[in-house]
Amino acid sequence: MARKPADQTVDREDILWAAAEVLHRNGYEATTMKDIAAQVNLTAASLYHHFRNKDFLLLNVLEVGIDYTIAKLEAVAASDLSNADKLAGMIRSHVVSVTGNVAVGAAMVFEIRAVLNVSGKDGDDSFLAEFVARRDGFFARRDYFESLFRNVLLAGIEAGEFRAVDADIVTKAILGAHNWVGVWFRAGGRLSGEEVADVLVDAWLAALRR
Amino acid sequence: MARKPADQTVDREDILWAAAEVLHRNGYEATTMKDIAAQVNLTAASLYHHFRNKDFLLLNVLEVGIDYTIAKLEAVAASDLSNADKLAGMIRSHVVSVTGNVAVGAAMVFEIRAVLNVSGKDGDDSFLAEFVARRDGFFARRDYFESLFRNVLLAGIEAGEFRAVDADIVTKAILGAHNWVGVWFRAGGRLSGEEVADVLVDAWLAALRR
DNA sequence: TCTACAATCGAATCCAGTTTCGAATCGCCC
DNA sequence: GGGCGATTCGAAACTGGATTCGATTGTAGA
């Protein structure tokens, strides 16, 4: 027995999303390749056909996660709404993403340190180099992601729509609140993702209202 | 060479705080007993004289962390300030704790899942039972901690000091923002812990102001 | 001083998890 | 209807890290 027929074959994407889910449940180190493989009905060994190793797999998960989130955010950020409406839309969009796919959201929050730690990973030279490059690219994406929010805040303050708060800190506060949603939110709870988003939009807008 | 003289001997407390720091740097799974031991100039083996195993060690870290935080918070919560002032004091107190000891704050945020996962840990029966009991105790403390904030919100709304927001969600948003501070805050940055706290107090009070 | 205990350590054991390898299948195209 | 690359698998090699053990040595008190 070796390869399963077509109705079984999975591709990178499938593995990535499945991995995100497992990672969310267990955390990076606590998640074994076997766990991830099981999620898509493969064996651990098979995973190595799709990814160089565990680190790259995680990095991939983070990459698709951040790209997915940024794409949704950019749509709103690029619109010609007022800054208040933009912020509202972005908060809603982000919170809904997080609640809709807890896996991605929480992976973003929790697994960073694991990726961060290049130290300790025995240098397979070429691997290491590519890993570091991609990891730094990921961090850059994260910064960009954060800047989307910060810029709206800044623009809103500039335009007199918002109070003159410390945009840097408030941005991080907003994102912190969202990230945390990924930790406690459970589908089927008292509120839907949209409803949670509404509460947060209301709160932040009130916090910024002049 | 065996035991070092008195000038070397450390006690549980020392190990706990040192462990919190290492844990913050590396995350639970990525932190080895050796790492923790090194932080207090011991060998991994010596740690087992103080703690049953790695899980209990982590649990201990979380316990002292939450107790420390709760103690500071209760002082404010029990005062007879207005709810707005109480909330301000509590936010300040919590944020300053987190920035003052990033280790505790971040350990609180990140390591929970590791502790959570009882499943998988081979049942050493008695160990397992005590572990679960203490773990549940910890979670109860966490809930209590959260309730301190929520109750002030609720009381403030009741008293007409605050807008009628969804106290549950807003509480979690506040705590999420604080937890996140533990992740990004670095001593020596643009703002001190107190200054960050001030920004957040201002924001949340504005968000709740009628 | 002698004894019992607390605190350490180095070495050894054990084990789970990653990664590698060679073989087996499948689907497809010539 | 044979060849070829893409996939997958089981088994085995390796590794790092948790935990155990027995020995050693300060310390405190009888």
Mean local confidence (pLDDT), B152-176: 98
B6 CA – D24 C1', rounded, Å: 16
Q: Which of B111, B121, B166 to mutate to test the interface with A (most CBs of A within 10 A)?
A: B166
With CB atoms and an 8 Å threshold, state whether A180 touches B181: no
- A2 falls in which pLDDT band (50, 70, 90)? very low
What tokens does A88 get? 């509202």
**What was the pLDDT predicted at A8?**
54
Per-residue pLDDT tens digits for A24-46: 888 777 889 999 999 999 999 99
**What was the pLDDT predicted at B104?**
73
A33 touches strand D (CB under 7 A): no
More confident residue, B179 or A123: B179
With CB atoms and an 8 Å threshold, state whether B27 touches A28: yes
Long-range contacts from A146-152, C-beta under 8 angstroms, 24+ separation: A146/A171, A146/A172, A146/A175, A148/A70, A148/A73, A148/A74, A148/A77, A148/A90, A149/A87, A149/A90, A149/A174, A149/A175, A151/A77, A152/A77, A152/A83, A152/A86, A152/A87, A152/A90
With CB atoms and an 8 Å threshold, state whether B165 touches A203: yes
A47 touches strand D (CB under 7 A): no
What tokens does B127 get? 């160990």
**What was the pLDDT predicted at A114?**
66
Per-residue pLDDT tens digits for B94-131: 999 999 987 777 667 766 766 767 665 665 667 788 89
**What was the pLDDT predicted at A129?**
86
B180 neighbors A172 (Cβ within 8 angstroms)? yes
Q: In angstroms, what separates the C-alpha of A111 from chain B's closest C-alpha?
A: 9
Helix axes B167-184, B193-208, angle to 10 degrees: 160
Distance CA A21, CA A27 (A): 10
Mean pLDDT of the residues in chain A: 89
Q: In angstroms, what separates the C-alpha of A126 from chain B's closest C-alpha?
A: 23
Q: In angstroms, what separates the C-alpha of B73 from chain A's closest C-alpha?
A: 20
Please determine, for residue B76, whether its predicted confidence score (pLDDT) is greater than 90. Answer: yes
Mean local confidence (pLDDT), A171-177: 97
CB-based contacts of B148: which residues, under 8 Å, 6+ apart? B70, B73, B74, B77, B90
Taking CA atoms, A128 is separated from A61, A117, A119, B195, in Å, by 18, 12, 10, 39
With CB atoms and an 8 Å threshold, state whether B113 touches A203: no
B44 touches strand D (CB under 7 A): yes
With CB atoms and an 8 Å threshold, state whether A29 touches B26: no
Which among B28, B183, B204 has CB closest to A207?
B204
| Phi, psi of B145, deg, nearest 5 | -55, -50
Distance CA B155, CA A197 (A): 24
**Ramachandran sector of residue B79 (left: φ over 0; alpha: ψ -120 to 50; beta: rest):** beta
More confident residue, A3 or A201: A201
Q: Locate the chain A residue with the closest alpha carbon to B29.
A: A29
Please determine, for residue A94, whether its predicted confidence score (pLDDT) is greater than 90. Answer: yes
Mean pLDDT of the residues in chain B: 89
User: DSSP label at A10?
Assistant: -
Least confident of A94-108, A166-180, B5-19: B5-19
Please determine, for residue A5, whether its predicted confidence score (pLDDT) is greater than 80. Answer: no
Please determine, for residue A97, whether its predicted confidence score (pLDDT) is greater than 80. Answer: yes
Give the whole-number percent of chain A exceeding pLDDT 70: 86
**What was the pLDDT predicted at B5?**
44
